[in-house]
Structure 1
Amino acid sequence: MLVGITGGIGSGKTTVAKLFAKFENVVIYFADQEAKQLMNTSSIIKEKIIANFSSEAYINDELNRKFLSNIVFNNKEKLHLLNSIVHPEVFKHLQDFREENADKDYILYENAILFENGSDKLCDKIITVTAPVDVRIQRVVDRDKVTKEEVMSRINNQWTDMKKILQSNYVIHNILLSDTENQVSKIHNKLT
């Protein structure tokens, strides 16, 4: 079973996903992490990014994340273009991961833009992680050392929590860690 877990930037979906890792026979696929790795290792992705965004997209054969972020988070068409380059390769990688882990109780598929890129259609169940916007902004400012305006730009490129919640099987309100751990345990029990 493939269980999608999503949430807006700063909601804590990665932290929540890691809480599921404590359960036996559960594996986690972190889409963003795998996408970043593929953007550095896949010749298919590299060639397409350079062709569409210039050779400045890579420095010393490593993705120039700041350069690319400045382009795509201020231009929805460019963001869509980048996603159309990266996501097909991530989907192929996910399929391989699913086959390798077919014996698990379930695979947790952590993806910030699960609905936005159509990955929700791959999932048997979906969990959305939420947190108040001011909390999310502060988390990202602290974590990424960016401005509030930069965080809001990213938030504005994602679906609203309510839109995600309406299409989810479960919702985790991630504010206090102890409460979040209880919610994770309850969902895991339902899934197994």
Structure 2
Amino acid sequence: MLKVGLTGGIGAGKSEVSRLLVSYGAVLVDADKIAREVVEPGTPGLDAVVDAFGPGVLTADGRLDRPKLGSLVFSDSEKLATLNAIVHPLVRARSAELEGAAGEDAIVVHDVPLLVENELTGLYEVVVVVDASPETRLDRLVRVRGMAESEARSRMAAQATRERRNAAADLVIDNDGPLEKLEPQVRDVWERLVERAVAHF
């Protein structure tokens, strides 16, 4: 098994890269998706979040109100650290389960938004960073996702700098341009991962 860490700043286009890698044969472990699952209603994770932040972070039907929680934590580093201390261990445990279910010859891609911030590079044999300029990322968040510019800037500021993230990379995918320029780069990265995996096995 080859363990790959995939990361990138918010709005860089990680989701599209991970979709392409899966289409080539990668096994995806999506930390964001798992992070949502571990705070579903009835989970110990959601109970812990409510204990830490109060019932005001719940919607009327008892689900986590993500925009409300986000507005609380992304402008307050202590609150963000509290949330991370609840969610990250749960995500790691579930990720390990999914990884264990993959075959011995699998290339397992862990999509981890905060890989660099949480100093997790040592967990992976290869770290792939999806890179885009801050201007491009801000435009995507506001224009495509419909996020308020102030919230987009706040979320970007809560993450590692572009320089720090790229310094941690074994491979960098430039996603500053249009989609048609992305696919050949991802294909090239996949071929390198396959080569690495063959040597690894």
TM-score, normalised on structure 2? Answer: 0.90
Q: For residue 98 of structure 1, what is the aligned residue in structure 2?
A: 99
Q: What SS does structure 2 have at the residue aligned with 1:21?
A: helix
Aligned: 1:155 with 2:171: no
Supply the distance in 1 between the matched residues of 2:82 and 2:121 (Cα, whole angstroms).
20
Q: For residue 124 of structure 1, what is the aligned residue in structure 2?
A: 125
Q: For residue 58 of structure 2, what is the aligned residue in structure 1?
A: 58
Q: Residue type matched to 1:176 in 2?
A: P
Q: For residue 39 of structure 2, what is the aligned residue in structure 1?
A: 39
Q: Unaligned 5+ residue runs, structure 2?
A: 195-201
Supply the distance in 1 between the matched residues of 2:41 and 2:181 (Cα, whole angstroms).
38
Deviation at 1:41, TM superposition (A): 4.8
Q: For residue 185 of structure 1, what is the aligned residue in structure 2?
A: 187
Q: For residue 85 of structure 1, what is the aligned residue in structure 2?
A: 86
Supply the distance in 1 between the matched residues of 2:96 and 2:42 (Cα, whole angstroms).
16
Q: What SS does structure 1 have at the residue aligned with 2:23?
A: coil
Supply the distance in 2 between the matched residues of 1:157 and 1:132 (Cα, whole angstroms).
16
Deviation at 1:105, TM superposition (A): 2.8
Mean Cα deviation higher: 162-171 or 177-186:
177-186
Q: What SS does structure 2 have at the residue aligned with 1:29?
A: strand
Moved over 6 A (4+): none
Q: What SS does structure 1 have at the residue aligned with 2:100?
A: helix
Equivalent pair of 2:4/2:126 in contact (CA under 8 Å): yes
Deviation at 1:184, TM superposition (A): 0.9
Deviation at 1:78, TM superposition (A): 0.3
Relative to structure 1, the CA distance from residue 138 to residue 104 in structure 2 (aligned partners, 3 Å threshold; closer, same or farther) is farther
Aligned: 1:137 with 2:152: no
The percent of aligned pairs where both chains have the same amino acid is: 28
Q: Residue type matched to 1:184 in 2?
A: V
Deviation by residue 1:95-129 (Cα, 9 ceiling, x = unmatched): 00010013343111111111112332221110011
Deviation at 1:61, TM superposition (A): 2.2
TM-score, normalised on structure 1? Answer: 0.94
Q: Residue type matched to 1:55 in 2?
A: P
Q: Unaligned 5+ residue runs, structure 1?
A: none
Deviation at 1:46, TM superposition (A): 1.3
RMSD in angstroms over aligned alpha carbons? 1.4
Supply the distance in 2 between the matched residues of 1:41 and 1:31 (Cα, whole angstroms).
18
